Amino acid sequence: MTANRPYILAAGGTGGHMVPAHVLALELKARGHAVHLVTDTRGLRFPGLFEGVPRTVVDSGSPGRSGWKSAPGVALSIWRGRSAARKLFRDLKPRAVIGFGGYPALPSLLAAVSLKLPTLIHEQNAVLGRVNRFLAPRVRAIGTSYASVRRLIPGWAAKTTLTGNPVRAEIIAARAIAFDADAPRLLLLVTGGSQGAAILNTVVPAAVALLPETLRARLSVVHQGRDEDAAHIGETYRAAGVAAQTQAYFTDLPAQIAAAHIVVARSGASTVAELAVAGRPAILVPLPIATDDHQTDNAQGLAAAGGAIVIPQPRFNAEVVAQALTAWLSDPKALAAAAAGARSAGHPDAAARLADLVISTGYPS
């Protein structure tokens, strides 16, 4: 139908940008549309994403923590990426170009705006990111994952649509699995992302060891932690008499989320979106160095729905976590209510809603 005029998806850097772009690509392809990924070298490193999708790598740059010191080099890299994207877009004649935030998306959106192509951006977090703040006044449409997004100015409201953050099909399938707060054994899932989070690896096993014996007897743990921490993590759980599975990486993380009764995690955009769609209560520890403290806003969104307890990292210690776990593990009604609260915040139709926005913004078929 549109094989010679694709939708361009500009995303790269991290899984938080790449996963929703991948899910949108699947939705657009299912509707018979062609898609093309424009990314950076990091965007090629995610197994299982964008299989069979044409892709082009363009230069991009980020000042990172070096700030203005790297500005000239970053600007040159972005300019080169913009030039390469302009050439690509003249050849492909895309129907629309959508950016998923982050510096890897910037060259493509600058190129598309300069060519007067239909453009839109998607914001995964509860705070509009720096690149999306720069692009927001220049694009035709904005898709958001939260009803309220900090740093999204009122003047952009007319072109803003709440779509939600697209999540993988396996997570949507988890939504159909009933949550049983009265199960004879309860599963605690601890995940700090693919690199693990050192503070979770230290604090959570110690917190579990502080739980009353009656609660520990009913508890099993699946803990995603770094290989170098595995021995310590496993020994702490064993000493507490708690069965635990510890791995650096779980290929079946959606299945683990589906089976979990409580999740302890950071509050990146994809993590929060997946917990909400699956309807799983969480203890969230926002990453304190996240840009604009966006992980705190993400976490508070789920907490406001009753689906999460937010513990800032300076207060994240074994005693505080043990208290939070005890409150839920000892009260099935409270645990079930938290699961329902998380579920109420989910957007299982986010991919479809974002695809609708992309198609309505782009050139017609």
Determine which helix (DSSP H) or strand (DSSP E) holds 221, and give its type and residue range.
Answer: strand 219-224
246 among the known binding-site residues? Answer: no
16 among the known binding-site residues? Answer: yes
Cα distances (Å, whole numbers) of residue 63 to 53, 74, 134, 210, 219:
29, 6, 15, 43, 44
Q: Where are the alpha helices (DSSP H) in 93-129?
A: 106-114
The answer to whether the beta carbons of residues 220 and 242 sit under 8 Å apart is yes
Cα distances (Å, whole numbers) of residue 22 to 10, 93, 190, 321:
10, 21, 25, 34
Torsion of CA 125, 30, 250, 191, to 10 degrees: 20
168 among the known binding-site residues? Answer: yes
Distance of alpha carbon 140 from the chain centroid = 24
Residues linked to residue 56 through DSSP beta bridges, in sequence order: 38
Q: How many CA atoms lie within 13 A of 43 on its CB side?
A: 32
Distance of alpha carbon 325 from the chain centroid = 24
61 among the known binding-site residues? Answer: no
Among residues 321, 313, 269, the alpha carbon closest in space to that of 295 is found at: 269
201 among the known binding-site residues? Answer: no
Distance of alpha carbon 104 from the chain centroid = 16
Phi, psi of 309 (to 5 degrees): -110, 125
- Find where tokens 């997570």 sit: 171
Q: Indicate the annotated binding residues.
A: 14-16, 125, 168, 194, 295
Q: Indicate the annotated binding residues for UDP-N-acetyl-alpha-D-glucosamine.
A: 14-16, 125, 168, 194, 295
